[in-house]
Amino acid sequence: MFEEGELVFLVDSDGKQHWAKITQSMLKIPSLGTINGNKVMDLDDGSELVIDGEKLTIFRPGTIDLIKSLDRGAQIITPKDAASILFNCDIKTGDVILEIGTGSGALTTALVSAVKPNGRVHTVELREKNVIVTLKNLKRTGLDEKWTYQIGDARSVKVNILADTIVMDIPDPENAVDNLFPCLRKGGRICAYVPNTNQVELIVNALRHRNFYDVFSLEILQRKMEVHRGGVRPSYDMLGHTGYLVFGRKRS
């Protein structure tokens, strides 16, 4: 069942999501109405309830739901790319992650969700306004307890951490590799997210020059399927190019 302070969302008949935090007192849900919080706490994931005559379904959010609901400032790393980062970097509970650049906190949310409860994510961010947006988003979801940050330039800032993985979302990751190299444990993984092919070439060559193992780059394309009575076809809309991912693994 749901717990006090837990973030949930309710889906109405039009598929719209309405977000709320569970409380034992009267729970006000914007644009829907008010309901006794104790009744909500007696429910579980996927249950139905009625507010002011409207039937809704209540869900516990997954990581993708959290990312889609974030307040946005800078452009986010999409779930399709975030999922590839988590898998190719073997990110799991207990890991220590060094993130370079947080944007609006979408990837940060995915990283913290993956390493909790025993791991942590430390972010180096050049712009304080991005940290403010990310902190707001993480506090809303309760993930801020496993997140720390510092303001600085990844090409020169001193970072006191030994990470299992470094993830970089900055324009010139190749220029930060030398400074961050001591922060990555032997056998640790590195990932760079860049939007242009010339940036791919620069970071791939930088990692190869520093003797990283299994350096490769890929692009993720995503297309939904339209399923109708009498026929199934690919959607005309496609989530195509968002960025290129570059991976590598540190040798001694």
pLDDT digits (tens, 9 = 90+) for 14-52: 888 888 888 888 877 777 778 878 878 888 899 988 887
* CA dist., res. 26 & res. 17, Å (int): 20
pLDDT band (50, 70, 90) for residue 85: very high
Query: Is residue 75 over pLDDT 90?
Result: no
Beta bridge partners of 36: 26
Query: Is residue 74 over pLDDT 70?
Result: no
Q: Given this model, what pLDDT does residue 193 score?
A: 97
Q: Given this model, what pLDDT does residue 140 score?
A: 86
Query: Is residue 155 over pLDDT 90?
Result: yes
Residue 105 one-letter amino acid: G
Instruction: Tell me the pLDDT of the chain averaged across its residues.
Output: 91
User: Is the distance from CB of 190 to CB of 199 less than 8 angstroms?
Assistant: no
Helix axes 79-88, 106-115, angle to 10 degrees: 40
| Residue 117 token pair | 């409860």
The residue length of the chain stands at 252
Element spanning 194, H or E: strand 184-194
pLDDT tens readout for residues 119-137: 999 999 999 999 999 999 9
Helix axes 106-115, 128-141, angle to 10 degrees: 50
pLDDT tens readout for residues 86-106: 999 999 999 999 999 998 899
pLDDT band (50, 70, 90) for residue 190: very high
Q: What angle do CA 155, 158, 159 make, to 5 degrees?
A: 105
Residue 121 one-letter amino acid: V
* C-alpha pair distances (Å), 63 with each of 28, 136, 143, 149, 171: 24, 16, 11, 21, 26
Element spanning 245, H or E: strand 244-249
* CA dist., res. 16 & res. 12, Å (int): 6
Q: Given this model, what pLDDT does residue 53 score?
A: 81
Average pLDDT of the segment spanning 42-71: 86
Q: What is the pTM of this model?
A: 0.83
